[in-house]
């Protein structure tokens, strides 16, 4: 199974809006909660209350600072989970077939019962999207909530990834990139959605929207916005009188 | 990358073992009887020990058989298949040499080709990983293959051959380091491309996603001190190749060969340690580690 | 190619129970998924008005809070010395008997010797009612150290402030200014709101020394110098006034801008000119005469005054214009202090003006104002603002908050579409709130509610010698308008016996021995300090917590509470409801699981204790407990006839809304409805609430008011002037002399800015830097660290220092630094941050822990790589040499001035690897936590 399908029927994935993400980690924890209880083994936490806690997470939020020549520095919160790459190197390296890319929708999954825990797929992923579970010793990764998005036990509107459903800022969007008319395709096209590390040749499905221009506020001086600029206190009273007259 | 002892042990031992088997299989060294028993035993032993060491690296060794299934796409699977195949194919030759004093060149030759392919497959497991630019280079397989063949030749007591292979290995290691030092930059990956924010300005990690450690950091982010690395490179080069090459020029004696062998294996362990420890995974860019 | 078959439709749970989150005070609706009777998964409730299905990190991690190893298991009686954490588990009978034995004599002889203070619980109307019945004047919740500046300034200025009082009109706002907010209580709604603005491409301006979180997504960042927002805001006012970009019509109709103010020196100076009926007068432009402000058909003047009997009276607006047009507020003159270039101030003012007036929005919705005038449309000025503790937690915070409201009102963006909107039961002007009470009599209830809004010196709670009646000195000359009390002063005052000694300190849900106190190290000493005879200076401490917090270790008796999934709660209109700007709403919590430990819901315990003490309202005529538990209280208690803790599903048939007889099925109806009740405001009542006849009528029908209460916004706040007058020597109640100048300077009826007391009193050479904390979005104060998931995100508190400081100090990666304030030292690892005000350092709030607390390992980074800034912040200012204790608080409201802190920084010697201070470990009253977690609930 570790050969990649030539094409997939759908290309499901996420759009993550870096202009909107406030870095709240809500998506991180809802992912942890859902996936601890669902697909595969629970996500373990080792030394959970001790000096070196180390748990498995399928989605994590980094924070970067961007310093600029002329404008003030920016801070960008940066959530990252599996990008469900079209050309997923994590899949082709897997010796057991545990890692595979679904033909139906392009979701990259690990079949935990076949995984020998060799860790090679995590090496192959440039994005750090795979983590070996500390207790179960099998490879864990974002499932794109494959057990939610088609789940007939959930109301229609909840058939969306846990992280998307929970994101308070609405910075995460889920959909089918193979359909140019889908919400995610259009959003990505309109806002300049980009790939992470395109030079790695992974052809990620997930897209990131860049932060919009920051610190661009630059409007004409107030005085030029109104005709007779009162300016002085005396002038102000005159203006006030005229303005009250007009009311 | 984390220099896991099991992986260092595996690549050095099994490499040398398969290297020996290559020479034994090709009949370049054609021991018979007890000598064959010992040499083949050594080859099988080293290769096997390496494989067992590798199994320690697995989370679920009990499922190891599944690793034979994906030879179409996975170098790790190919390695498993090739290793087993070479050991199996070589077996009649080995047995016949040892117990019947009759080499079976057909099995030997085929086994040797498979053993060579095994070493190459091992190297390709690393060389294919684009996310580790230092590994993802043509010089990786030569280092692995030459190290295995040189060590193997030495064990097979093909001293002249070993001498030249040692020198070639030295050249390959140097090439791998020289090229490797530039690979990360050449890969084009940097914090700018990793975040896609590079066009906006200088990008720097402000806060990692969690204050504790995680699997990724443990496995893929390992920072070696430069001084340390320099010293180890000298050890790898000197012990691993140059000194053994010089020793091999001396009149053959058990003493010098044993010394050369010990030095070579020590040097190769250093080389392998560096091979992992110096290799930077691009995921470090997301953790401000580069 | 065949691929594995994945179960795409696993059973998610067997049952969903809908209740309310408690991982913070935002109070989102949650769906608790149950498997085999256990909590399996928590997600947001899509129908809930607060969060519409989304959930924050804390909310999703509720399951780990619920399963925390730090949960207390049974009542605890102290056996070791205070602070040691050595306890014995006892029965509830014994615990309640002990508490009764301690409290009954106090009630009979000296009720004021009980000080009962509560933290960020959500049952203040209930605990206050209990304390009133007990008869002690010493009750309040945490508001005094939290954000009372914001609340008080809002109520006094316009009848409500931010968060629980109101919210931006997220759907219509085109320009949003956010002042001093890292997270706030309205956690999810703010994020949802920002998301809406982003989706529409509206502009967000973040005013904050630190650019993270909300400020990181702000289109424009103003990295202001801490403590100078008032100056910046008034410079914006200056600019807008100068060019006349203000909404005069709005000012005339809805504010006291036209009120005439006495300009004559003497006891009436600065007071409103009033008619015989006491109504403030305005000058009618047509007649030139002074007439009652609400006379029909008049045209109030803003420019000219009147002269009556030789005394000039000028409109409020004239005073206002005179003040803010002054060059003192010109951008050039504030730029350096605020750390904001003048052109940027101008650009922001211009953008406010442009959006407010050029992008005006109109809703075709007729409405009628309280004067009876019908309006065909609703006009909006789509500029919204929101602020929180960055503005309020300063000693000039009250006036800064006032300044912000002034700015909002001048452009006409309060209660208009696209601006800021109140959430019912607000707006509610100060007059509609009660006055504070402290009249106690042994064996009797207090003479009225504890807290309220004083309208002048006559409402202070002081004795004839000016000494305070309350232990926290709220409503004394120290902090005349302190409507939330001053919890941060309780321990320090009780320890000092100033104004008097107390016997029992009863705390609920406030980690006062640690992160919620200023001056933490010394507070721990005060709690353990003994008199010569070996007795504790604060004789008895009762505490209710649900977890093994630092405070637990200092209690003599611990009453263990349940977790939020195991009890009834009500989020009541009498208290801090969950309403939206467009709707009235309240909600409940209910036990979705039963506790597996010997713990009881605190409110039920308090009712039990009340019954044992025979408190009025808590016992029947024959002396038996009136309420079985809190649930029964919620259902049957009535504050006023027909008005109870919950407003929904009232009346015998459950159809009454707001007012109605108690309904025994009420809680069941809430549960059926998803845990909440909501009632939408009719369209014609949605905006202009203080002046909208339809709104006022609707509010009366729902029981929010007993009669319509329209009022005008107080640009000029007359009660402030009354205190100022007293300080100037007028009136019967006179402040002590040492406070006169300060009262005159700070209780100005028009917003003003003055440097924070720390800035004014600290030598900038010695302490050149500002030090701040921010709330991490993924933690709630001290609770987050016991949560196995959340603590992995924020497990330590590095000190972020600006690029400028980093360079000055020649820091390199891995360095540690010591911060020194006039009061103490802490040592932390440093990290560089450029998107930070150049003279500022900061770290995360409340992540640092005392060793031994919270069931964490002793090597937990929360204890070894973290420190509270609280060790650097004193509740008093450094002594001035006059022998007096000057509080480190806002002089008007008593709000703790957390963010006034100034420090200096030094690189720590190489090799530093542990944070300082390191307090000795407390013994854990709960068993050690499990090492590894692989939590999964099997059906
Ligand atoms: N340096 C600095 N210090 C600050 C601030 C700051 O900005 N900077 N902010 C201040 C502000 S605004 C505030 S509000 C305070 C917050 O201070 P606190 O209100 O003291 O906050 P917590 O640490 O959350 O303490 C609450 C206690 O309630 C307990 N608790 C949690 N759940 C329950 C429950 O269900 N039942 C019971 N009975 N107890 C429970 C917790 O275990 C904890 O011990 O901190 C103040 N301290
Ligand atoms: N996740 C989470 N949510 C919480 C809490 C929590 O502990 N965790 N606590 C709750 C409580 S009790 C409260 S009171 C609220 C508080 O909510 P916030 O007011 O958002 O709380 P703080 O984290 O104190 O944020 C203060 C912000 O003001 C900035 N600041 C400091 N000084 C100045 C200044 O002079 N000017 C300006 N413009 N900015 C300044 C700081 O940089 C910081 O960003 O949050 C509530 N919500
Ligand atoms: S939940 Fe949304 S806003 Fe929060 S960190 Fe995740 S993507 Fe960002
Ligand atoms: S992001 Fe990583 S794990 Fe996911 S498909 Fe791409 S390479 Fe594989
Ligand atoms: S860890 Fe598991 S999924 Fe990954 S490559 Fe190895 S066997 Fe495949
Ligand atoms: S799609 Fe599902 S598995 Fe993937 S990050 Fe989101 S919540 Fe986690
Ligand atoms: S904001 Fe988060 S923690 Fe607070 S109530 Fe809502 S979900 Fe719970
Ligand atoms: Mo607070």
Q: pLDDT tens digit string along C302-311?
A: 999 999 999 9
Structure tokens at C298: 């008049």
What's residue B52's pLDDT? 86
Q: Tell me which chain A residues have a C-beta less than 8 angstroms from the C-beta of B73.
A: 2-3, 92-93
Residue identified by tokens 């998301």 is C195
Q: Tell me which residue has its CA closest to atom 14 in ligand 1.
A: C146
DSSP C888: S
Query: Which of B189, B207, B209 is opposite residue A200, by nearest beta carbon?
Result: B189
| pLDDT single digits (tens) C660-671 | 999 999 999 999
DSSP C358: I
Indicate if ligand 1 lies below 6 Å from the C-beta of C559: no
Q: Tell me which residue has its CA closest to atom 8 in ligand 5.
A: A94
Indicate if ligand 1 lies below 6 Å from the C-beta of C169: no
Atom of ligand 6 nearest to the CA of A34: 7
Give A221's pLDDT tier (boundaries 50, 70, 90): low
What value does the mean pLDDT take over residues C504-509?
98
With beta carbons less than 8 A apart as the criterion, state whether A106 and A84 touch: yes
Cis check: omega of the bond before C425, within 30 degrees of 0: yes
The total of other beta-carbon atoms located within 10 Å of residue A191's CB is: 17
Query: Which of C833, C835, C861 is opposite residue B211, by nearest beta carbon?
Result: C861
Give the list of residues 6+ apart from residue C621 with CB closer than 8 angstroms, or none: none
DSSP B155: H
Q: Tell me which residue has its CA closest to atom 2 in ligand 6.
A: A145
The answer to whether the CB atoms of A168 and C51 lie below 8 A apart is yes
Interface pTM, i.e. ipTM: 0.97
**Distance separating alpha carbons of residues A123 and B284, to the nearest angstrom:** 12
| pLDDT single digits (tens) C896-910 | 999 999 999 999 999
**Please, which residues bridge with residue C41 across strands?**
C33
Percent composition of chain A: helix, strand, coil (DSSP 3-state, to 5):
25, 20, 55
Give the list of residues 6+ apart from residue C328 with CB closer than 8 angstroms, or none: none
Structure tokens at C225: 């110098």
Judged by DSSP in three states, C718 sits in: helix
Q: How close C321 gets to chain A, by Cα (Å)?
A: 8
What's residue C879's pLDDT? 87
DSSP B286: G
Q: Tell me which residue has its CA closest to atom 4 in ligand 5.
A: A121
**Please, which residues bridge with residue C933 across strands?**
A45
**Distance separating alpha carbons of residues C475 and C484, to the nearest angstrom:** 10
Residue C890 half-sphere exposure toward CB, CA atoms < 13 A: 38
Give B56's pLDDT tier (boundaries 50, 70, 90): confident
How many helices and strands in chain A, by DSSP H and E?
A: 7, 11
Ligand closest in space to the Cα of A89: 4
**Structural domains in chain B?**
5-287 (1.20.1630.10)
With beta carbons less than 8 A apart as the criterion, state whether C456 and C719 touch: yes
| pLDDT single digits (tens) B176-235 | 999 999 999 999 999 999 999 999 999 999 999 999 889 999 999 988 777 889 999 999
Which of A211-215, A224-228, A232-236, C690-694 has the least mean pLDDT? A224-228
Ramachandran bin of A117, using left for φ above 0, alpha for ψ from -120 to 50, beta for the remaining angles = left
Q: Does A17 touch chain B (CB under 8 A)?
A: no
pLDDT surpassing 60 at residue B237: yes
pLDDT surpassing 80 at residue C536: yes
pLDDT surpassing 80 at residue C347: yes
Partners of chain B (3+ Cβ pairs below 8 A): A, C
Judged by DSSP in three states, A55 sits in: strand
- Share of residues in chain B with pLDDT > 70 (%): 100
Per-residue CA distances from C798 to A26, B70, C102, C821, C832 (Å) = 22, 47, 44, 18, 10
With beta carbons less than 8 A apart as the criterion, state whether B269 and B249 touch: no
A 145-184 near B (Cβ less than 8 A): none
Rounded to the nearest integer, the mean pLDDT of chain B is 94
Long-range contacts of C660-666 (CB under 8 A, 24+ apart): C662/C635, C662/C636, C662/C638, C663/C635, C664/C635, C664/C636, C666/C634, C666/C635
- Give the H or E element holding residue C826: strand C825-833
| pLDDT single digits (tens) A44-65 | 999 999 999 999 999 999 999 9
In angstroms, how far apart are the furthest CA atoms of chain C? 101
Per-residue CA distances from C445 to C49, C50, C638, C849 (Å) = 38, 37, 17, 39
| pLDDT single digits (tens) C103-136 | 999 999 999 999 999 998 789 999 999 999 999 9
What's residue A233's pLDDT? 63
B 169-228 near A (Cβ less than 8 A): 187-189, 191, 193-197, 200-210, 212-216, 218-220
Residue spans of alpha helices (H) in C4-160: 57-60, 62-66, 92-109, 124-134, 143-146, 148-158
What value does the mean pLDDT take over residues C552-569?
98
Domain C761-907 belongs to what architecture? Beta Barrel (2.40)
Residue spans of alpha helices (H) in B57-188: 75-99, 105-127, 140-155, 159-187
**Distance separating alpha carbons of residues C864 and C858, to the nearest angstrom:** 8
Give A227's pLDDT tier (boundaries 50, 70, 90): low
Among C65, C178, C180, say which to mutate for ligand 2: greatest number of ligand atoms within 8 Å of CB.
Answer: C180
DSSP A184: H
| pLDDT single digits (tens) C617-638 | 999 999 999 999 999 999 999 9
Nearest CA in chain B to A125: B131
The answer to whether the CB atoms of A72 and C351 lie below 8 A apart is no
With beta carbons less than 8 A apart as the criterion, state whether A226 and C243 touch: yes
The answer to whether the CB atoms of B205 and A64 lie below 8 A apart is yes
pLDDT surpassing 90 at residue A231: no
Is it true that domain C95-150+431-560 has CATH number 1.10.10.10? no
Among C182, C508, C509, say which to mutate for ligand 1: greatest number of ligand atoms within 8 Å of CB.
Answer: C509
pLDDT surpassing 80 at residue C858: yes
Judged by DSSP in three states, A192 sits in: coil
**Distance separating alpha carbons of residues C829 and C817, to the nearest angstrom:** 6
Q: Does A203 touch chain B (CB under 8 A)?
A: no
Q: Tell me which chain C residues have a C-beta less than 8 angstroms from the C-beta of B290.
A: none
**Residue limits of CATH 3.40.228.10 in chain C:** 169-256+324-426
Among C142, C182, C189, C339, say which to mutate for ligand 2: greatest number of ligand atoms within 8 Å of CB.
Answer: C182
What's residue C6's pLDDT? 95
**Distance separating alpha carbons of residues A72 and A82, to the nearest angstrom:** 32
Q: Tell me which chain C residues have a C-beta less than 8 angstroms from the C-beta of A232.
A: 325
Which CATH number is associated with domain A12-245?
Answer: 3.30.70.20
Ligand closest in space to the Cα of B125: 5
Judged by DSSP in three states, C19 sits in: strand
Which of B162-171, C28-37, C604-613, C872-881 has the least mean pLDDT? C872-881
Q: Tell me which residue has its CA closest to atom 6 in ligand 7.
A: C28
Q: Tell me which chain C residues have a C-beta less than 8 angstroms from the C-beta of A57.
A: 792
**Please, which residues bridge with residue C799 across strands?**
C830
What's residue A232's pLDDT? 63
With beta carbons less than 8 A apart as the criterion, state whether A131 and A57 touch: yes
A 86-115 near C (Cβ less than 8 A): 100, 102-103, 109, 111, 114
Structure tokens at C19: 């209740």
**Distance separating alpha carbons of residues B156 and C341, to the nearest angstrom:** 79
Q: Compute the distance from residue C506 Cα to the ligand 8 centre, in Å.
A: 20
With beta carbons less than 8 A apart as the criterion, state whether C906 and C826 touch: no
Class of domain C169-256+324-426: alpha beta
Indicate if ligand 3 lies below 6 Å from the C-beta of A14: no
What's residue A2's pLDDT? 75
| pLDDT single digits (tens) B30-39 | 889 999 999 9
Give A220's pLDDT tier (boundaries 50, 70, 90): low
What's residue B222's pLDDT? 86
A interface test, pick of C5, C6, C348 with most A CB neighbours within 10 Å: C6
**Distance separating alpha carbons of residues A122 and B215, to the nearest angstrom:** 10
**Distance separating alpha carbons of residues C384 and C416, to the nearest angstrom:** 10
What's residue C500's pLDDT? 97
* Residues, Cβ < 5 Å to ion ligand 8: C 146
What's residue B290's pLDDT? 78
Q: Tell me which chain B residues have a C-beta less than 8 angstroms from the C-beta of A68.
A: 200-202
Give A218's pLDDT tier (boundaries 50, 70, 90): confident
Cis check: omega of the bond before C917, within 30 degrees of 0: yes
Phi then psi for residue C487, to 5 deg, are -55, -30
pLDDT surpassing 60 at residue C431: yes
Ligand closest in space to the Cα of A59: 6
DSSP C325: T
In 3D space, the residue among B214, B123, B198 whose CA is nearest the CA of residue A128 turns out to be B214
What value does the mean pLDDT take over residues A133-145?
98
Nearest CA in chain C to A237: C303
What value does the mean pLDDT take over residues C40-45?
97
- Give the H or E element holding residue C585: strand C583-589
**Distance separating alpha carbons of residues C912 and B157, to the nearest angstrom:** 55
What value does the mean pLDDT take over residues C34-48?
97
With beta carbons less than 8 A apart as the criterion, state whether C107 and C122 touch: no
Q: Compute the distance from residue C516 Cα to the ligand 1 centre, in Å.
A: 6
With beta carbons less than 8 A apart as the criterion, state whether C513 and C541 touch: no
Q: Tell me which chain A residues have a C-beta less than 8 angstroms from the C-beta of B75.
A: 93
What value does the mean pLDDT take over residues C217-241?
97
Cis check: omega of the bond before A123, within 30 degrees of 0: no
Give A225's pLDDT tier (boundaries 50, 70, 90): low
* Helix axes of B105-127 and B140-155: crossing angle, nearest 10 degrees: 140
Q: Compute the distance from residue C821 Cα to the ligand 2 centre, in Å.
A: 21
Structure tokens at B9: 């042990």
Per-residue CA distances from C290 to B166, C134, C250, C275, C830 (Å) = 108, 50, 20, 9, 63
In 3D space, the residue among C760, C158, C689, C193 whose CA is nearest the CA of residue C401 turns out to be C158
DSSP C111: G
Give A223's pLDDT tier (boundaries 50, 70, 90): low
**Distance separating alpha carbons of residues C751 and C150, to the nearest angstrom:** 13
Query: Which of A116, A122, A124 is opposite residue B66, by nearest beta carbon?
Result: A116
Among C146, C389, C514, say which to mutate for ligand 2: greatest number of ligand atoms within 8 Å of CB.
Answer: C389
**Residue limits of CATH 3.40.50.740 in chain C:** 95-150+431-560
The answer to whether the CB atoms of A48 and C322 lie below 8 A apart is no
Q: Compute the distance from residue C846 Cα to the ligand 1 centre, in Å.
A: 8
Per-residue CA distances from C829 to A202, B3, C816, C839, C906 (Å) = 38, 28, 4, 18, 12
Nearest CA in chain A to C41: A33
In 3D space, the residue among B144, B147, B125 whose CA is nearest the CA of residue B136 turns out to be B125
Q: What is the 3-state secondary structure (H, E, C) of C404-472?
A: HHHHHHHCCCECCCCCEEECCCCCCCHHHCCCCCCCCCCCCCCCCCCCCCCCCHHHCCECCCCCECCCC
The answer to whether the CB atoms of C860 and A50 lie below 8 A apart is yes
DSSP A196: S
């Amino acid at each position: 199974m570790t050969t990649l399908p030539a094409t997939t029927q759908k290309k499901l994935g996420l759009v993550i809006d870096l202009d909107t993400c406030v870095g709240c980690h809500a998506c991180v924890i809802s992912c942890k909660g859902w996936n601890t209880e669902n697909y595969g083994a629970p996500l373990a936490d080792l030394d959970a209350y001790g000096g070196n806690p180390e748990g498995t997470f399928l989605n994590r939020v980094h924070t970067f600072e961007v310093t600029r020549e002329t404008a003030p520095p920016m801070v960008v919160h940066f959530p990252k989970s599996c990008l469900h790459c079209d050309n997923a190197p994590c899949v082709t390296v897997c010796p057991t077939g545990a890692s595979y890319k679904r033909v139906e929708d392009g979701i990259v999954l690990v079949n935990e019962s076949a995984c020998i825990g060799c860790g090679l797929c995590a090496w192959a992923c440039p994005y750090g999207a795979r983590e070996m579970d500390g207790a179960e010793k099998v490879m864990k990764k974002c499932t794109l909530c494959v057990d939610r998005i088609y789940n007939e036990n959930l109301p229609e509107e909840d058939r969306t990834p846990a992280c998307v459903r929970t994101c308070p800022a609405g910075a995460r969007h889920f959909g089918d990139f193979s359909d140019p008319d889908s919400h995610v395709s259009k959003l990505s096209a309109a806002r300049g959605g980009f790939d992470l590390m395109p030079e790695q040749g992974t052809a990620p499905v997930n897209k990131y929207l860049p932060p919009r221009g920051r610190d661009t506020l630059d409007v004409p001086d107030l005085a030029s916005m109104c005709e007779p600029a009162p300016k002085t206190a005396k002038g102000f009273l005159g203006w006030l009188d005229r303005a009250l007259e007009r009311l | 990358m984390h220099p896991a002892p099991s992986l260092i042990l595996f690549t050095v031992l099994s490499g040398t073992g398969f290297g020996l088997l290559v020479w034994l299989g090709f009949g370049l060294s054609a021991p018979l009887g007890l000598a064959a028993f010992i040499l083949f035993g050594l080859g099988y032993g080293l290769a096997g020990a390496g494989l067992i060491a590798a199994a320690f690296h697995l989370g679920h060794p009990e499922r190891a058989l599944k690793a034979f299934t994906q030879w179409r796409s996975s170098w790790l699977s190919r390695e498993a298949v090739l290793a087993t195949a070479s050991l199996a194919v070589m077996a009649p030759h080995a047995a016949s040499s040892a117990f019947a004093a009759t080499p079976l060149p057909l099995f030997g030759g085929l086994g040797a080709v498979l053993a060579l392919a095994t070493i190459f497959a091992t190297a390709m497991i690393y060389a294919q990983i684009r996310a580790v630019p230092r590994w993802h280079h043509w010089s990786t397989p030569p280092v692995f293959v030459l190290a295995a063949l040189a060590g193997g030749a030495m064990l097979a007591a093909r001293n002249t051959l070993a001498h030249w292979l040692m020198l070639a290995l030295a050249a390959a290691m140097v090439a791998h380091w020289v090229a490797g030092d530039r690979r990360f930059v050449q890969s084009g990956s940097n914090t700018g491309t990793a975040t896609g924010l590079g066009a906006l300005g200088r990008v720097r990690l402000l806060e990692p996603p969690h204050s504790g450690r995680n699997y990724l950091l443990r496995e893929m982010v390992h920072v070696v001190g430069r001084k340390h690395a320099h010293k180890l490179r000298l050890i790898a080069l000197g012990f691993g190749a140059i000194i053994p090459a010089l020793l091999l020029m001396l009149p053959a004696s058990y003493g010098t060969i044993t010394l050369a062998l010990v030095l070579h294996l020590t040097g190769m362990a250093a080389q392998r340690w560096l091979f992992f420890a110096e290799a930077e995974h691009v995921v470090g860019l997301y953790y401000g580690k580069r | 190619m065949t691929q594995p078959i994945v179960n795409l439709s696993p059973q998610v749970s067997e049952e969903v129970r809908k209740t309310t989150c408690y991982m913070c005070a935002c109070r989102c609706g949650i769906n608790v998924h149950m498997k085999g009777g256990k909590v399996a998964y928590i997600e947001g409730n899509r129908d809930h008005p607060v969060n519409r299905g989304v959930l924050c990190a804390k909310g999703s991690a509720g399951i780990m809070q619920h399963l925390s190893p730090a949960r207390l298991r049974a009542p605890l009686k102290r056996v070791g010395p205070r602070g040691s954490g050595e306890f014995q588990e006892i029965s509830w009978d014994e615990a309640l008997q002990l508490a009764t034995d301690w409290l009954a004599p106090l009630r009979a002889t000296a009720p004021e010797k009980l000080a009962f203070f509560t933290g960020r619980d959500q049952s203040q109307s209930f605990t206050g009612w209990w304390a009133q019945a007990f008869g002690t004047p010493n009750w309040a919740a945490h508001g005094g150290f939290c954000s009372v500046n914001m609340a008080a300034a809002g109520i006094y200025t316009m009848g409500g402030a931010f968060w629980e009082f109101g919210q931006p009109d997220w759907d219509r706002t085109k320009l949003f200014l956010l002042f001093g907010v890292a997270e706030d209580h309205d956690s999810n709604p703010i994020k949802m709101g920002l998301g809406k603005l982003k989706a529409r491409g509206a502009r967000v301006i973040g005013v904050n020394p630190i650019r993270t979180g909300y400020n990181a997504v702000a289109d424009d960042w103003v990295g202001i110098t801490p403590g100078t927002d008032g100056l910046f805001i008034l410079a914006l006012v200056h600019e807008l006034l100068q060019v006349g970009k203000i909404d005069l019509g709005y000012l005339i109709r809805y504010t006291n801008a036209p009120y005439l103010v006495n300009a004559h020196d003497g006891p009436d100076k600065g007071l409103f000119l009033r008619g015989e009926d006491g109504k403030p007068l305005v000058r009618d432009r047509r007649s030139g005469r002074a007439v009652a402000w609400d006379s029909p058909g008049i045209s109030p003047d803003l420019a000219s005054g009147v002269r009556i009997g030789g005394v000039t009276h000028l409109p409020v607006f004239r005073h206002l214009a005179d003040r803010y047009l002054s060059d003192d507020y010109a951008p050039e003159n504030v730029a350096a202090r605020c750390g904001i270039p003048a052109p940027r101030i101008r650009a922001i003012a211009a953008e406010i003006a442009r959006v407010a007036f050029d992008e005006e929005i109109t809703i075709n919705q007729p409405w009628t104002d309280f004067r009876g005038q019908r309006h065909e449309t609703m006009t909006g000025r789509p500029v919204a603002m929101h602020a929180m503790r960055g503005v309020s937690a300063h000693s000039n915070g009250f006036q800064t908050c006032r300044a912000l409201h002034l700015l909002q009102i001048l452009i006409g963006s309060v209660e208009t579409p696209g601006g800021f909107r109140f959430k019912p039961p607000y707006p509610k002007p100060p007059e509609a709130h009660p006055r504070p009470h402290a009249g106690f009599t042994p064996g009797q209830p207090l003479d009225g509610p504890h807290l309220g809004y004083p309208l002048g010196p006559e409402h202070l709670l002081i004795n004839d010698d000016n000494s305070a009646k309350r232990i926290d000195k709220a409503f004394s000359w120290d902090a005349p308008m302190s409507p939330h009390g001053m919890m941060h002063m309780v321990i320090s005052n009780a320890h000092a016996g100033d104004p008097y000694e107390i016997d029992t300190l009863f705390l609920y849900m406030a980690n006062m021995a640690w992160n919620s106190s200023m001056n933490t190290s010394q507070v721990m000493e005060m709690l353990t300090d003994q008199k010569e005879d070996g007795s504790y200076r604060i004789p008895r401490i009762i505490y209710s917590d649900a977890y093994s917090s630092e405070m637990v270790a200092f209690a003599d008796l611990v009453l263990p509470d349940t977790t939020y999934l195991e009890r009834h709660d009500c989020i009541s209109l009498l208290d801090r409801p969950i309403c939206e700007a467009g709707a009235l709403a309240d909600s409940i919590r209910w036990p979705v699981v039963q506790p597996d430990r010997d713990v009881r819901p605190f409110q039920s315990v308090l009712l039990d204790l009340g019954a044992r003490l025979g408190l009025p309202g808590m016992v029947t005529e024959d002396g038996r407990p009136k309420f079985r538990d809190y649930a029964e209280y919620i259902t049957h208690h009535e504050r006023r006839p027909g008005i109870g803790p919950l407003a929904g599903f009232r009346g015998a048939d459950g159809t009454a809304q707001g007012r109605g007889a108690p309904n025994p099925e009420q809680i069941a109806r809430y549960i059926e409805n998803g845990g909440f009740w909501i009632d939408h405001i009719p369209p014609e009542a949605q905006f202009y609430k203080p002046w909208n006849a339809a709104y006022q009528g609707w509010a009366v029908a729902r029981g929010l008011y007993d009669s319509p209460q329209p009022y005008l916004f107080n640009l000029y706040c007359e009660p402030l002037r009354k205190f100022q007058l007293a300080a100037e020597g007028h009136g019967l109640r006179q402040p002590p002399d040492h406070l006169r100048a300060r009262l005159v300077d700070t209780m100005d009826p028009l917003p003003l800015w003055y440097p924070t007391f720390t800035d004014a009193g600290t030598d900038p050479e010695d302490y050149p830097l500002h030090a701040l904390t921010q709330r991490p979005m993924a933690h709630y104060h001290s609770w987050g660290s016991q949560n196995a998931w959340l603590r992995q995100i924020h497990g330590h508190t590095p000190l972020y220092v600006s690029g400028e400081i980093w360079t000055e100090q020649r820091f390199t990666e891995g360095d540690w630094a010591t911060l020194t304030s006039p009061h103490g030292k802490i040592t932390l690892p440093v990290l560089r941050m450029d998107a930070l005000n150049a003279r500022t350092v900061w770290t995360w709030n409340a992540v640092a822990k005392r060793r031994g607390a919270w069931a964490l390992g002793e090597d937990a980074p929360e204890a070894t790589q973290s420190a509270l800034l609280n060790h650097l912040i004193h509740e008093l200012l450094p002594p001035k040499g006059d022998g007096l204790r000057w509080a480190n608080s806002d002089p008007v409201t008593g709000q703790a001035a957390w963010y006034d802190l100034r420090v200096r920084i030094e690189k720590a010697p190489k090799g530093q690897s542990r944070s300082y201070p390191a307090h000795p470990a407390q013994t854990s009253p709960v068993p050690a936590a499990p090492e590894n977690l692989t939590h999964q609930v099997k059906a």
